[in-house]
Amino acid sequence: MAADPTASPSFDLGPLHGNQWHQYATSHIGQLYYVNRATGAWSLAIPQGYEDNPNDTWALDPSKSWPQWTNTRTGRSVLIDPNPPLTNTYLDDLGVKAGLVTIQRAPESHEHLYRIPMTGILQLAFPRSEGFSVIAETKSETTRPGMIVFKVWARPSETLFNYDYMVVGCKNNNHTIPNTELQLYEVVADTINDVKSVYGLIQCGLDFQFYKYENSQFQKLGGVMHIVNDAGDVQRMLEYVKAHPLWL
């Protein structure tokens, strides 16, 4: 039988939702345990109905002097971050990080300052070593200053050429994604690549939204993501776009 954890000094993690159970963690090894508030009985097992769900969200509790994350659905707490940040995202790049710090501190910055971290993110996701190139686009009256990701490909005759792989509209926080969609649509619908299909991406402030234009249909890919808070999701979407060219 397991040793009684209530005999050891413990951290008080607070009640589970419903107040039937109170949760603690032993101070020497961080063993979580639960005490029934009506009977005083303790259990190392998570009480039935309070099990974690993959879609749950967790919040760091700033009122504690130790690191504690609490499940917003059940009230269950843990001492180790249940959603540690992904490694190897664009946030690990010092140039991108510096650019993001600039626009976070001064959100009213000119759009060229927003394009600095965006360019870095795209160059990391679509490297020249894999046949991609990221080109600044300044002449379009619809996108205004933005970028295009090109991909070198071979025609059936084996002639090399650049496909416009993804069109990027980059705006500061004076613009909104819904108000920018029509501008992006007009550009992707006018794509000059052979298959008339291309990905799209809008950045407005710190928000990202991906799109694709295929078979004359313009549609969103996923939802709006925050360039910093949702870096892992943005990274996965960039990897998806790179792995799924629309002409294959």
Tell whether 83 is covered by a domain. Answer: no
| pTM of this prediction exceeds 0.85 | no
Tell whether 50 is covered by a domain. Answer: yes
Give 144-186 pLDDT, tens digit per residue. Answer: 547 899 888 765 555 677 888 999 999 998 899 999 999 999 9
* Confidence at residue 137, expressed as pLDDT on a 0 to 100 scale: 67
* Confidence at residue 60, expressed as pLDDT on a 0 to 100 scale: 94
Question: Number of folded domains in the chain?
Answer: 2
* Confidence at residue 104, expressed as pLDDT on a 0 to 100 scale: 92
The per-residue DSSP string of the chain comes to ----GGGS-EEEEEEPTTSSEEEEEETTT--EEEEETTT--EESSPPTT----TT--EEE-TTSSS--EEETTT--EESS-SSPPPSSSGGG-HHHHHHHHHHHH-TT--HHHHHHHHHHHHHHHS-GGGTEEEEEE---TTT-SEEEEEEEEE-TT--EEEEEEEEEEEE-TTS-HHHHHHHHHHHHTT--STT--EEEEEEETTEEEEEEEETTEEEEEEEEEETTTTHHHHHHHHHHHHH--TT-
pLDDT at 141 over 60: no
In the predicted model, what is the mean pLDDT of residues 63-67? 89
Based on the domain organization, do 33 and 97 belong to the same domain? no
Tell whether 84 is covered by a domain. Answer: no
Based on the domain organization, do 112 and 217 belong to the same domain? yes
Based on the domain organization, do 99 and 63 belong to the same domain? no
Question: In this structure, how many other beta carbons lie within 10 angstroms of the beta carbon of residue 65?
Answer: 6
Based on the domain organization, do 115 and 232 belong to the same domain? yes
Based on the domain organization, do 131 and 73 belong to the same domain? no
- The total number of residues shown for the chain amounts to 248
Based on the domain organization, do 65 and 94 belong to the same domain? no
In the predicted model, what is the mean pLDDT of residues 57-64? 92
Based on the domain organization, do 74 and 130 belong to the same domain? no
Domain ends where: 50, 78, 106? 78
Domain ends where: 78, 106, 123? 78
| Rg value, the chain, Cα | 25
**Residue 29: which domain range?**
5-78
β-strands 42-43, 58-60: how paired?
unpaired
Residues with Cβ within 8 Å of residue 220, at least 6 apart in sequence: 209, 210, 211
Tell whether 194 is covered by a domain. Answer: yes
**Which CATH number do you get for residue 136?**
3.90.1570
Tell whether 74 is covered by a domain. Answer: yes
Based on the domain organization, do 53 and 160 belong to the same domain? no
Least confident interval from 24-33, 46-55, 106-115, 169-178: 24-33
Based on the domain organization, do 183 and 159 belong to the same domain? yes
Based on the domain organization, do 145 and 231 belong to the same domain? yes
* Confidence at residue 145, expressed as pLDDT on a 0 to 100 scale: 43
Least confident interval from 93-102, 140-149, 217-226: 140-149
CA 72 to chain centre: 20
